[in-house]
């Protein structure tokens, strides 16, 4: 187990921790953003942001080519003040909070043929969660999505992805001043889906974003989430839950950009891995710029390895450019559910399957409660139990 914990890190000019960062950019902020695909070279796998990624699976989504596939959208009757509209490519670019940050994302935006925009009008307060389900039919799909929370609006949006697709997307999340948004992205793909996504959020003054990402399905999922503060007094909570079994690659990269004073960020990602070829990657970058005085930030990644062979990479990076901060820290730990723990639980009469369930449910319980949508929380526990059944079957086969 490796643990790094700096609950109150000292303020260096550039305070960075990483697992052997080869040639880091001068700052995470220096990475280019552009709607022009050619602004990004085709990654080779040596780049810092691609070095853990399964490029073989992602390759089709790096080609500067149009596709004609679509996802099927299942949208409920939207409450008053909430609209879902198709937006022209020019408007889509204009209304995005910033340009894409990597090639997959730039390709997605360039060939999505415009964007779908979910817009919550200013001062709209929606009590019930807005649940949208998109289903892949095995096609090659590029997507561009805008989520726009108007000033002083309050809403919960759940976007659930099912079925299978080779899907890349660029998602822009815009919180106007004092908006509150709970955005839940569920990756419940079939086992052969490939998904590369970039989610970029901009937080206006006093706005509150709670962003939860749950990745259970898919052959390869690579999600890049960025949150940038544009106004003081805003806060972002980013939660992530993932569970990879054999043959799955699940990668979550995060970047929180503290560019203005008095903002708060919390990043909490937890993952479980089971099966010899299960693979997860978590990279959490936090930048506290010179201007961002009184920043309060903490990021945490925990991984639970259930079987031999599975591999979890965890790379927290904290860059601090000002000494005037309220708090900054990160923690990363990867633990193993080992034979001794298993023996202990079994010696109390608990079967192997039950023991694994007890440990995994315990591991995720507090995180699931953070999602804040009871129906999602319930179905997630069920989905995790299903994952475990799958793991148990796989292990039983190995033993046979």
Task: Based on the shown chain and the rule CB under 8 A, indicate whether residue 2 belongs to the binding site for another protein.
Answer: no
| Contacts to another protein from residues 248-267, by CB under 8 A | none
Instruction: Return the HEC string of the chain.
Output: CCCEECCECCCCCCCCCCCCCCCCCCCHHHCCCCCCHHHCCCCCCCCCCCCCCCHHHHHHHHCCCCCCCCEEEECCCCCCCEEEEEECHHHHHHHCCCCCCCHHHHHHHHHCCCEEEEEECCCCECCCCEEEEEEEEEEEEEEEEEEEECCCCEEEEEEEEEEEEEEEEEEEEEECCCCEEEEEEEECCCCCCEEEEEEEEEECCCCEEEEEEEECCCCEEEEEEEEEECCCCCEEEEEEEEEECCCCEEEEEEEEEECCCCCEEEEEEEEEECCCCCEEEEEEEEEECCCCCCCEEEEEEEEEECCCCCEEEEEEEEEECCCCCCEEEEEEEEEECCHHHHHHHHCCCCCHHHHHHHHHHHHHHHHHHHCCCHHHHHHHHHHHHHHHHHHHHHHHHHHC
Indicate which single residue of 63, 121, 350, 395 sits in contact with another protein (rule: CB under 8 A). 350
Region binding another protein by CB under 8 A among candidate stretches 15-23, 253-261, 354-362, 379-387: 354-362
Site size for another protein (CB under 8 A): 21
Task: Based on the shown chain and the rule CB under 8 A, indicate whether residue 351 belongs to the binding site for another protein.
Answer: yes
Task: Give the shortest CB-306-to-another protein separation in angstroms.
Answer: 12
Task: Give the shortest CB-336-to-another protein separation in angstroms.
Answer: 11
Residues facing residue 268 across a β-bridge: 239, 300
Residues 282-321: x/- map of binding to another protein (CB under 8 A)? ----------------------x-----------------
Indicate which single residue of 347, 382, 399, 400 sits in contact with another protein (rule: CB under 8 A). 347
Q: Are 362 and 304 in contact (CB under 8 A)?
A: no
Indicate which single residue of 343, 378, 385, 386 sits in contact with another protein (rule: CB under 8 A). 343
Region binding another protein by CB under 8 A among candidate stretches 46-54, 123-131, 351-359, 389-397: 351-359
Indicate which single residue of 254, 345, 368, 380 sits in contact with another protein (rule: CB under 8 A). 345
Residues 357-376: x/- map of binding to another protein (CB under 8 A)? -xx--xx-x-----------
Region binding another protein by CB under 8 A among candidate stretches 43-51, 113-121, 321-329, 345-353: 345-353
Region binding another protein by CB under 8 A among candidate stretches 160-168, 201-209, 341-349, 386-394: 341-349
Task: Give the shortest CB-1-to-another protein separation in angstroms.
Answer: 10
Neighbours of 378 (CB within 10 A): 11
Indicate which single residue of 341, 378, 385, 389 sits in contact with another protein (rule: CB under 8 A). 341
Nearer to another protein, 165 or 355 (CB): 355
Indicate which single residue of 190, 232, 296, 352 sits in contact with another protein (rule: CB under 8 A). 352
Nearer to another protein, 175 or 359 (CB): 359
Nearer to another protein, 28 or 302 (CB): 302
Task: Based on the shown chain and the rule CB under 8 A, indicate whether residue 339 belongs to the binding site for another protein.
Answer: yes
**Signed CA dihedral, 332, 338, 344, 345: sign only:** positive
**Binding residues vs another protein (CB under 8 A):** 304, 335, 339-341, 343-352, 354, 358-359, 362-363, 365
């Amino acid at each position: 187990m490796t643990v790094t914990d700096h609950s109150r890190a000292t303020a260096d000019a550039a305070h960075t921790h990483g697992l052997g960062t080869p040639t880091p950019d001068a700052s995470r902020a220096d990475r280019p953003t552009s709607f022009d695909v050619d602004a990004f070279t085709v990654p080779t796998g040596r780049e810092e942001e691609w070095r853990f990624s399964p490029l073989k699976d992602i390759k089709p989504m790096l080609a500067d080519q149009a596709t004609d596939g679509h996802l099927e959208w299942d949208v409920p009757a939207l409450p008053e003040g909430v609209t879902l509209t198709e937006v022209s490519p020019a408007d889509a670019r204009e209304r995005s909070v910033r340009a894409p940050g990597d090639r997959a994302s730039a390709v997605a935006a360039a060939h999505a043929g415009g964007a779908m925009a979910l817009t919550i009008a200013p001062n709209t307060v929606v009590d019930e969660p807005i649940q949208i389900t998109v289903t892949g039919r095995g096609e090659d799909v590029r997507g561009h999505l805008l989520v726009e929370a108007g000033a002083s609006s309050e809403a919960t949006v759940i976007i659930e992805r099912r079925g299978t697709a080779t899907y890349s997307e660029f998602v822009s999340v815009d919180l106007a001043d004092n908006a509150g948004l709970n955005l839940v992205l569920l990756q419940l793909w079939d086992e052969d889906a490939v998904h590369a996504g970039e989610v970029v959020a901009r937080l206006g003054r006093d706005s509150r974003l709670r962003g939860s990402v749950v990745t259970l399905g898919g052959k390869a999922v690579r999600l890049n989430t960025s949150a940038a503060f544009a106004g003081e007094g805003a806060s972002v909570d980013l939660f992530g839950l993932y569970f990879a079994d054999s043959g799955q690659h699940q990668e979550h990269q995060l970047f929180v950009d503290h560019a203005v004073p008095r903002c708060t960020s919390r990043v909490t990602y937890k993952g479980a891995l089971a099966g010899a070829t299960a693979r997860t990657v978590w990279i959490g970058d936090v930048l506290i710029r010179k201007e961002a005085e009184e920043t309060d930030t903490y990021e945490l990644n925990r991984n639970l390895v259930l079987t031999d062979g599975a591999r979890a990479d965890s790379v927290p990076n904290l860059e601090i450019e000002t000494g005037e901060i309220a708090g900054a820290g990160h923690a990363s730990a990867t633990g193993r559910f080992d034979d001794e723990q298993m023996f202990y639980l079994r010696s109390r009469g608990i079967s192997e399957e039950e023991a694994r369930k007890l440990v995994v449910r315990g591991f995720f319980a507090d995180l699931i409660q953070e999602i804040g949508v009871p129906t999602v929380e319930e179905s997630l526990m069920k989905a995790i139990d299903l994952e475990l059944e799958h793991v148990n079957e796989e292990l039983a086969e190995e033993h046979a």
